[in-house]
């Protein structure tokens, strides 16, 4: 029996129309580095988004599901593209301006972008790539920056403001099917080609509602959100859509992402909320310690991307700023969990522990843990497994080019359609996630998992150890066993037996998890962002480059 409810699709168009009309007074404020910031009301942003859609359609011939890419900082124009492109039925493709040139080239060609909208300040990055971007017919430039490097390009070059000037501010939008593509974003995995995640109108709409739910960020038009997390990174955690839906002010740092300008914009513009990765907050904290500012308006800070150290959380607590952990990934739109403590823990000594978890799942994100042998693990706060998730704003495949079927690699999606997050952790009985390892870094020994991170943390607590990395190496009997790689402090000598005893007696490591293989290195190899590069260690071991002692 069908319901008698109206069949109204959940679309980005609806968010645009609503924010422009009902929240027309709310503002997108973009930092300009000097003087007054640029202030644009939602009414203006909405009208300009409509003008942009006309310009793309009539001026540049964008049609159907053409991809229109952006290579932009967080600013009002980038917000305009967020609404114009999906509303006209095309697909917004946000390009990560931190990627190596070859990867970005690969991505633009794979998505077959027809247009790139670029901030003037990023032309020096785009121009050398442009000859390799065969599908790109038009480049639209917004904001200050020398245009000269684009001269002689195969693509037509346009000025954003010229293009939208005098265009109509109403548009007879198509009403898209809510499952149609609205936006896409590539993840740059550590191995293999980048993978495209394609968000639907439906997923963006539902995700926006979830962000605005009181249990998540709970923002209203009384709030202003400082959106530091880049718009090219999972749609800035969905914040431009979510804030436009409910009239939350947006404070956009543009290219001014250094601690000084950030502290200044907080003091001057008084955002109530902010969203960024931990490193940004580390820098801001140092800045505030060096040059104290009035940041009293800021009450809630959402931290994601990687785990927030307890010390950072405590430091912000002392400043009266409530830091709230969240977990997600490009494939989860990204809201997966938010770490507001449960009611029963508030005011107890459990509260801080809950805040250090990755957070609690909302109703829209189903979660399960899968053990090393594919078994389903209980939510007991102890059993560690790979996190798999399911829900209406979670990817079930990757984009595989304009004419190909979506890609569903078996290491990323289960047979029943759940996303394998590649994260290993535990879930408490009340639904709080604690991540401990990346799945590729755990050691599968005799059908059980050994946490490399737990071994590393225990080792690094020893007074002789400066740094330690543990990786899985092949073992005839157990499948895999841990190899402990240790950097000693100056003056210390290697005593593997003593370290092993220390792990068991002080580190709480179970006997069967203790490494037999040990090696001393002068430094742990690191990736460009400073993480342990375990791929390198595994290769060095395989090729016999390490001097391994077996005990």
Query: Which positions are catalytic?
Result: 187, 331, 444, 449
| Buried-exposed string 383-406: b where 16+ CB fall within 10 A, e elsewhere | bbbbbbbbbebbbebbbeeeeeee
For the packed helices 239-246 and 201-212, what is the interaxial angle rounded to 10 degrees? 70
Q: β-pairing, 465-475 with 479-488?
A: antiparallel
Which residue lies nearer to a second copy by CB, 41 or 457?
41
Site for a second copy in 337-396 (CB under 8 A): 340, 342-344, 346, 360-364, 366, 379, 390-396
One of 29, 105, 212, 434 touching a second copy (CB under 8 A): 212
Report angle CA 116, 120, 124 to the nearest 5 degrees: 85
Site for a second copy in 480-499 (CB under 8 A): none
Which residue in this structure is represented by tokens 């959380």?
A: 313
Interface with a second copy, residue 10, by CB under 8 A: yes
One of 30, 70, 142, 246 touching a second copy (CB under 8 A): 246
Q: At closest approach, how far in Å is the CB of 54 from a second copy?
A: 22
Q: Residue 211: phi, psi to the nearest 5? A: -60, -40
Q: What is the DSSP string of 11-67?
A: -HHHHHHHHHHHTTT-EEEE--SSSSPEEEEHHHHHHHHHHHHHIIIIIT---TT-E
Three-state DSSP class for 469?
A: strand
Q: Rounded distance, CA 68 to CA 65, Å?
A: 9
Q: Residue 237: phi, psi to the nearest 5? A: 55, 30
Q: At closest approach, how far in Å is the CB of 160 from a second copy?
A: 25
One of 260, 406, 479, 525 touching a second copy (CB under 8 A): 406
Site for a second copy in 81-110 (CB under 8 A): 91
Which residue lies nearer to a second copy by CB, 74 or 272?
272
Q: At closest approach, how far in Å is the CB of 290 from a second copy?
A: 33
Which range touches a second copy (CB under 8 A), out of 15-23, 93-101, 151-159, 285-293?
Answer: 15-23
Q: At closest approach, how far in Å is the CB of 47 from a second copy?
A: 15
Which residue lies nearer to a second copy by CB, 218 or 525?
218
* Residues whose CB is less than 8 angstroms from the CB of residue 78 and which lie 6 or more positions away in sequence, other chains included: 70, 72, 231, 240, 252
One of 95, 397, 514, 524 touching a second copy (CB under 8 A): 397
Which residue lies nearer to a second copy by CB, 427 or 465?
427
Question: What separation, in Å, do the N-terminal and C-terminal C-alpha atoms of the chain show?
Answer: 69
- How far is CA 281 from each of CA 219, 259, 274, 309, rounded to the nearest angstrom? 21, 8, 10, 11
Which residue lies nearer to a second copy by CB, 262 or 367?
367
Site for a second copy in 187-206 (CB under 8 A): 196-200, 202-203, 206
One of 58, 102, 175, 215 touching a second copy (CB under 8 A): 215
Which range touches a second copy (CB under 8 A), out of 154-162, 276-284, 425-433, 477-485?
Answer: 425-433
One of 49, 56, 209, 384 touching a second copy (CB under 8 A): 209
Interface with a second copy, residue 170, by CB under 8 A: no
Q: At closest approach, how far in Å is the CB of 111 from a second copy?
A: 11
In the shown chain, the binding pattern of residues 125 to 164 toward a second copy, with x for contact by CB under 8 A and - for none, equals ----------------------------------------
Cross-strand pairs, 549 = 518
- How many other C-beta atoms can be found within 10 angstroms of the C-beta atom of residue 416? 7
Which residue lies nearer to a second copy by CB, 347 or 530?
347
Decide: residue 548, CB within 10 A, 0-12 exposed, 13-18 middle, 19+ buried. middle
# chain residues binding a second copy, by CB under 8 A: 78
Strand positions, DSSP E, 45-143: 67-71, 91-94, 115-119, 138-142
One of 8, 148, 410, 523 touching a second copy (CB under 8 A): 8
In the shown chain, the binding pattern of residues 305 to 344 toward a second copy, with x for contact by CB under 8 A and - for none, equals -----------------------------------x-xxx
Q: β-pairing, 115-119 with 138-142?
A: parallel
Q: At closest approach, how far in Å is the CB of 449 from a second copy?
A: 24
């Amino acid at each position: 029996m069908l319901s008698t409810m109206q069949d109204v699709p959940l679309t980005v168009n609806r968010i645009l129309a609503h924010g422009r009309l009902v929240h027309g007074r709310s503002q997108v404020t973009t930092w300009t580095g000097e003087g007054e910031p640029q202030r644009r009301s939602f009414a203006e942003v909405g009208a300009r988004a409509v003008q942009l859609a006309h310009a793309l359609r009539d001026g540049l011939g964008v049609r159907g599901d053409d991809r229109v890419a952006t290579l932009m900082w967080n600013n009002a124009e980038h917000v305009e593209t967020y609404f114009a492109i999906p509303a006209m039925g095309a697909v917004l493709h946000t390009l990560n301006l931190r990627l190596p040139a070859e990867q970005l080239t690969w991505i633009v060609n794979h998505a077959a972008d027809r247009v790139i909208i670029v901030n003037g300040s990023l032309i020096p990055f785009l121009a050398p790539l442009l000859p390799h971007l065969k599908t790109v017919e038009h480049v639209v430039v917004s904001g200050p920056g020398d245009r000269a490097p684009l001269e002689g390009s195969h693509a037509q070059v346009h000025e954003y403001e010229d293009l939208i000037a005098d265009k109509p501010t109403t548009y007879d939008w198509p009403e898209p099917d809510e499952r149609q593509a609205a936006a896409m974003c590539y993840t740059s995995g550590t191995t293999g080609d980048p993978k495209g995640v394609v968000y639907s109108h439906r997923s963006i709409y539902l995700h926006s509602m979830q962000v605005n739910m009181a249990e998540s960020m709970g923002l209203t038009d009384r709030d202003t959100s400082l959106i530091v997390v880049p718009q090219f990174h999972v749609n800035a955690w969905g914040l431009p859509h979510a804030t436009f839906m409910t009239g939350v002010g947006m404070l956009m740092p543009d290219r001014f992402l250094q601690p000084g300008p950030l502290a200044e914009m907080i003091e001057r513009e008084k955002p109530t909320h902010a969203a960024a990765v931990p490193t940004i907050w580390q820098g801001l904290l140092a800045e505030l310690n060096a040059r104290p500012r009035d940041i009293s308006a800021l009450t809630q800070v959402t931290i994601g991307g990687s785990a927030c150290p307890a010390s950072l959380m405590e430091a912000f607590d002392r400043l009266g700023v409530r830091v709230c952990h969240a977990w997600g990934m490009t494939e989860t739109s990204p809201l997966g969990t938010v770490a507001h403590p449960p009611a029963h823990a508030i005011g107890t000594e459990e509260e801080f522990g809950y805040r250090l978890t990755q957070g609690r799942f909302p109703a829209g994100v189903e979660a399960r843990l899968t053990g090393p042998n594919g078994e389903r693990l209980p939510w007991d706060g102890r059993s560690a497994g790979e996190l798999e998730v399911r829900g209406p704003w979670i990817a079930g495949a990757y984009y595989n080019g304009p004419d190909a079927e979506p890609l569903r690699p078996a290491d990323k999606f289960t047979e029943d359609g759940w996303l394998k997050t590649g994260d290993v952790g535990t879930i408490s009985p009340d639904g709080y996630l604690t991540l401990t390892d990346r799945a590729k870094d755990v050691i599968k020994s005799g059908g059980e998992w050994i946490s490399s991170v737990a071994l590393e943390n225990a080792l690094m607590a020893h007074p002789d150890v400066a740094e330690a990395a543990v990786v899985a190496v092949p073992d005839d009997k157990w499948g895999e066993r841990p190899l402990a790689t240790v950097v000693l402090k100056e003056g210390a000598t290697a005593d593997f037996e003593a370290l092993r005893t220390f792990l068991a007696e002080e580190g709480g490591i179970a006997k069967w998890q203790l490494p037999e293989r040990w090696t001393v290195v002068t430094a742990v190899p690191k990736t460009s962002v400073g993480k342990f590069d375990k791929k390198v260690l595994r290769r060095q071991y395989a090729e016999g480059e390490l001097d391994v002692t077996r005990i």
